[in-house]
C-alpha cells in the first residue's frame, strides 16, 4: 500500500496506522460509490427510463446506510488521529518524556537543529547538559544519537523555511526562522538513516540532506566525552544505501568552531 520503509522510531506506527485508515477508507468508499454510479447509469439509462423519476426507488432511499458507514469511518479516523496527536504532540513535553525514559531505563538526549541554505547543523549541550555554554559542540550534516533513547529536537532555521524530515522515523516538522519548534522521536537499534529537507528552500534544496547515525551506548558515551573535552569537533561518517533500493555512498567530514560556524565537506560521492 505505502512503500515499504524501515522503521527506526517506536511511535512511527501511529503515523503509519493513520495513513492506513485513510487509505482503506477511501478505497472502500470510492469503490462503493463507483458501483452505485455505474449501476444507476445502466439501470436508469434513457431507453429504459425516458422520464425522470419523481421519487427515488425504495432501495435507493436506504442508501442512508452508506452515510452511517461513512460517519463511523470518520469517527474511527478522528479518534485514532486524536490519540496519535495526543501521544506525539500534546502529552510529550520534555518532563513527560524524561519521566518515561527513566521508567524504561532509556536514554534522553536533547539536540538543537538549525536548518540553513543548504545544510543542517546539530548543536549538542555538552557534558553540562545546558545549551549556550562553552562545552556545546556542533556537527554539520551528521546527527549522532544513542540507541534506545528519547531524542528531543529543538528546531529552528537561520534564513528561510526548511523542513526536518527523517522518513524512517516518520518525523517531518517545519524549521522556521525566528521560531523554535519541537519534535521528538525514540530510537531503537543502531543504524544509519537519511535526513532530508522537505520544504523547497532554494536552488540547492535537493542537496540539503544529512545523515542520522544511531550508535550504541558505548560509542555515544565515548563520542560525548571526546567532544566535551574540547577536541575540535570533527565528525566523519559514511552513509550507505538510502531507501528506494538505490545504493549511494557518501562520505562526510564536518568541522566546526566553538563560535558555532560549521563547515561541511563532502569527501566523495558516487
Binding residues for Cu ion (CB under 5 A): 162, 197, 201, 208
Strands (E), the chain: 107-116, 119-124, 137-140, 142-146, 149-157, 162-166, 171-175, 181-186, 191-197, 209-215, 235-240, 249-256, 262-269
Q: C-beta of 261: minimal distance to Cu ion in Å?
A: 19
C-beta closer to Cu ion: residue 11 or 111: 111
Coil, strand or helix at 234:
coil
- The C-alpha cell 505505502 sits at 2
- The 3-class secondary structure across 67-116, one letter per residue, is HHHHHHHHHHHHHHHHHHHHHHHHCCCHHHHHHHHHHHCCEEEEEEEEEE
Q: How far is CA 103 from CA 91, 96, 99, in A?
A: 16, 11, 6
C-beta closer to Cu ion: residue 69 or 161: 161
Q: C-beta of 267: minimal distance to Cu ion in Å?
A: 22
- The C-alpha cell 501511529 sits at 14
Q: C-beta of 168: minimal distance to Cu ion in Å?
A: 19
Q: C-beta of 111: minimal distance to Cu ion in Å?
A: 18
Give the span between the Cα atoms of 114 and 50, in whole angstroms: 68
C-beta closer to Cu ion: residue 201 or 235: 201
C-beta closer to Cu ion: residue 155 or 197: 197
Q: C-beta of 219: minimal distance to Cu ion in Å?
A: 29
C-beta closer to Cu ion: residue 162 or 186: 162
Amino acid at each position: 500500500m505505502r512503500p515499504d520503509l524501515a522503521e527506526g522510531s517506536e511511535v512511527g506506527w501511529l503515523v503509519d496506522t493513520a495513513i492506513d485508515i485513510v487509505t482503506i477508507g477511501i478505497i472502500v468508499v470510492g469503490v462503493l460509490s463507483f458501483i452505485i454510479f455505474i449501476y444507476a447509469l445502466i439501470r436508469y439509462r434513457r431507453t429504459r427510463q425516458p422520464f425522470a423519476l419523481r421519487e427515488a426507488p425504495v432501495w435507493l432511499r436506504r442508501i442512508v446506510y452508506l452515510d452511517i458507514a461513512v460517519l463511523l469511518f470518520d469517527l474511527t479516523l478522528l479518534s485514532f488521529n486524536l490519540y496519535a496527536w495526543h501521544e506525539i504532540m500534546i502529552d510529550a513535553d520534555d518532563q513527560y518524556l524524561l519521566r518515561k525514559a527513566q521508567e524504561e531505563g532509556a536514554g534522553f538526549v536533547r539536540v538543537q537543529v538549525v536548518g540553513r541554505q543548504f545544510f543542517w547543523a546539530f548543536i549538542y549541550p555538552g557534558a553540562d547538559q545546558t545549551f549556550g555554554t562553552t562545552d556545546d559542540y556542533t556537527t554539520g550534516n551528521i546527527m549522532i544519537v544513542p540507541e534506545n533513547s528519547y531524542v528531543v529536537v529543538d528546531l529552528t532555521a537561520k534564513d528561510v523555511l526548511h523542513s526536518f524530515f527523517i522518513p524512517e522515523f516518520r518525523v517531518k516538522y517545519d524549521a522556521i526562522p525566528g521560531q523554535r519548534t519541537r519534535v521528538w522521536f525514540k530510537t531503537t537499534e543502531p543504524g544509519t538513516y537519511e535526513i532530508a529537507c522537505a520544504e523547497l528552500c532554494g536552488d540547492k534544496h535537493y542537496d540539503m540532506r544529512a545523515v542520522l547515525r544511531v550508535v550504541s551506548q558505548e560509542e555515544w558515551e565515548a563520542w560525548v566525552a571526546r567532544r566535551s573535552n574540547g577536541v575540535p569537533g570533527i565528525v566523519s561518517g559514511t552513509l550507505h544505501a538510502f531507501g528506494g533500493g538505490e545504493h549511494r555512498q557518501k562520505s562526510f567530514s564536518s568541522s566546526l568552531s566553538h563560535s558555532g560556524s560549521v563547515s561541511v565537506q563532502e569527501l566523495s560521492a558516487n
